[in-house]
Amino acid sequence: MVISSSNSYSKLNPNVVNISSANKINLKRLSQNGQIQIYQSSYRGSYSSIIRDSLRNAALGRKVLLVQFMKGGVKQGIDNKVKLCDNLTWVRPAHSYDHYHSEEIEKNQNLKKTIHESIYELWNLCKKELISGEKDQIILDEIFLAIEMKIIDKDDLISTLENRFISGDVILTGTDIPKDLLLMANQITELRS
């Protein structure tokens, strides 16, 4: 907290809020950004402990968003989010790579475009949630694979993380993590088999 009787201090410093009262007090605005945690593994599908922890957090009353970018499900997508424990929102793309053989995707450019659009639609949902500050925890599962495949822009992710407003943690998982994102992390965990 910053206490100052000088009116000019708050005019020169945009991070100070003036409060009208008999005793003039200037309070410094605090950003409420939680930690950025990165979980790295050499293989896909190794993050079951993170999913388990997200369910536990939701059962304890925290509002959790779990987004699996590269795994699809039956009737998934942002219009068919799964709600568990009233606090966990679990969402996957409407179309994903896991539903098709890789050769089939490479031969069919329309299918590939549909999958990319479905994943990017999830990313737009995540950006809104990161900026809104309504969730206590946000998990972006396999987001680094979406970056590697050029579906999500790395700089867009960095900018969104820098401007987020969430008091809880943001958890990012993946195999190949860009160095810029490793430098942003408060915690890096390497999962081994």
Domain spans, the chain = 1-30, 32-191
Instruction: Please give the model's pTM, rounded to 2 decimal places.
Output: 0.77
Contacting residues for 160 by C-beta, under 8 A, at least 6 apart: 126, 127, 130, 131
Q: Between 44 and 145, name the one with better pLDDT.
A: 145
In degrees, rounded to 5, the angle at the alpha carbon of residue 168 between the alpha carbons of residues 25 and 96 is 140
Show the tokens assigned to 111. 């299918």
Q: Which fold has domain 32-191?
A: Rossmann fold (3.40.50)
DSSP H helices, the chain, are 7-12, 48-59, 102-107, 109-132, 143-148, 154-162, 179-184
Which has the closest alpha carbon to 99: 124, 83, 118?
118
d(CA 101, CA 94): 16
pLDDT per residue as tens digits for the range 29-79: 445 568 999 998 876 666 678 888 888 999 999 999 999 998 876 678 888
Q: Stretch 118-138: mean pLDDT, rounded?
A: 93
